[in-house]
Amino acid sequence: MFLKTKLVKISRLLYFVLLFILPVNLGKHFEIVDSYVGGVLVDYLVPTVFVQDILVVLILLFWILSGGLKRLFCEKNLLERRYIQYSTLFVSSLFLSTLNSARFIPSIYAWLRLFLYFLLFIYSLVEIPIETYFFKILNIFSLSLLLVSILGIAQFVQKGSVFDNYLVFGEQPYSSATYGVPKESFFGKGVVPSYGLFRHPNIFGGYLSIVLVWIFSFLKNRKFYWIPFLFGCTALLFTFSKTSWAVFLFGVFLHLLFVKDPGKIKNRKKKAVFLVYFVVVLSLLLPLFSCLTDNDNKSISRRASLAGASYRMIEDNFLFGVGFNNSTIFIDKYNYAGTDLRFSQPVHNIFLLLFSEGGVFSLIFFALLIRECARNFINSSYFHIYLISFLQILLLGSFDHYFITIHQTLLLFWVVLGLGLQ
């Protein structure tokens, strides 16, 4: 009994370490033949073992050795909950899509990471009671956000990476002269956005926009949160991610709306969910809106052309998709309306991405999971910040792909569900 208790404590300690290092991008990359498309290396197809992956394996291992599986099956009605059933069907459907993939190794490897993080979601439900650990987890995220925000601000001042070495927390080397690095205008001067420890400023901004709302929600009662909040807001500004700015302000607005009159919070939650669903549906019509407006914005035109390519991909692979994590192999073939000669990126919409890669069944199970999660969040009487985070993820996922394709934000997605659905 003593040994099992020790193993449980170790697994929880590793879980808290995992949350603290969630932004880290350090990993071992394995470039294989299947990672190249037309002679060009596509990083989404490179199997990589990240530090977070190793930690998740260790957490689950210690949990199983402590008798975690027995406690899982003894958990009252856990396996009967619909969001457990739908999430299991969703993950299983994507496994079936790997069997249909043209590049099996990149596909099955991406699925294994998804499955690993899904198991962590189950672990969070069973072993991390949010009533007990809420503020401990919030403190961990606050300190982690503070450190990565300081790095982001330093990158903005230096106009490039600070450590300039992947081996230091996975910070990717870049400068204003690096090919593909976006340039922005700041008070009339050309500047380079902050990347933090992420692969793109938009991902850094998305992460900040979610965690900053958690901190904002408790600024009144915990004054020391002002330090990470102000640093985080500054770093968010320096990402120049307009979508992240908007989603952050939306999250702040929802928090203020929910606390204004607690008696009406359930009705307001329903309206917020409906509003986000409406935006999600509109995002699927981006190619049509782009044609109607004839927008010259390169970011919008790229997203529209990728969405159009995904619709054509779906038309040819409606039932089972092209295989999980395989869309970048075919996107250039279907993106004949694009303005770029080569832009091997996943479609910037997680719903279209899952539809094109996993087929209609994966999309249906994911949509059912989203609906069931929303219902539980609406009915929850506990902290409303997880509902806000959930809605922010849906909004960000409607205009980018990183909650499916990037390990840090994929992990954040399952952590939010694991902590919020208790």
- Predicted local confidence at residue 3, as pLDDT: 83
pLDDT tens sequence for the chain (422 residues): 778 889 999 999 999 999 999 999 999 999 999 999 988 999 999 999 999 999 999 999 999 999 888 888 877 788 889 999 999 999 999 999 999 999 999 999 999 999 999 999 999 999 999 999 999 999 999 999 999 999 999 999 999 999 988 888 999 999 988 887 888 888 778 899 999 999 999 999 999 999 999 999 999 889 999 999 999 999 999 999 999 999 999 999 999 999 988 778 999 999 999 999 999 999 998 877 655 555 556 778 888 889 999 999 999 999 999 999 999 999 988 987 555 545 678 999 999 999 999 999 999 999 999 999 999 999 886 679 999 999 999 999 999 999 999 999 999 999 999 999 98
Q: What is the pLDDT of residue 177?
A: 85
- Closest by alpha carbon to 151, among 209, 93, 86, 201? 201
Confidence (pLDDT) at 295: 54
Q: What would the two tokens of residue 70 be? A: 């027995």
pLDDT, position 258: 93
pTM: 0.95
Whether 229 and 198 have beta carbons less than 8 Å apart is answered as no
Q: Could you give phi then psi for residue 103, rounded to 5 degrees?
A: -115, 95
pLDDT value, residue 292: 52
3-state per-residue secondary structure call for the chain: CHHHHHHHHHHHHHHHHHHHCCCCCCEEECCCHHHEECCEECHHHCCEEEHHHHHHHHHHHHHHHCCHHHHHHHCCCHHHCHHHHHHHHHHHHHHHHHCCCCCHHHHHHHHHHHHHHHHHHHHHHHHCCHHHHHHHHHHHHHHHHHHHHHHHHHHHHHCECCCCCCCCCCCCCCECCCCCCCCEEECCEEECCCCCCCCCHHHHHHHHHHHHHHHHCCCCCCHHHHHHHHHHHHHHHHHCCHHHHHHHHHHHHHHHHHHHCHHHHHHHHHHHHHHHHHHHHHHCCHHHHHHHHCCCCHHHHHHHHHHHHHHHHHHHCCCCCCCCCCHHHHHHHHCCCCCCCCCCCCCCCHHHHHHHHHHHHHHHHHHHHHHHHHHHHHHCCCCCHHHHHHHHHHHHHCCCCHHHHCHHHHHHHHHHHHHHCC
Locus of tokens 């922010």: 392
What is the structure's pLDDT at 76? Answer: 72
> In the numeric block, which tokens belong to residue 100?
């249909």
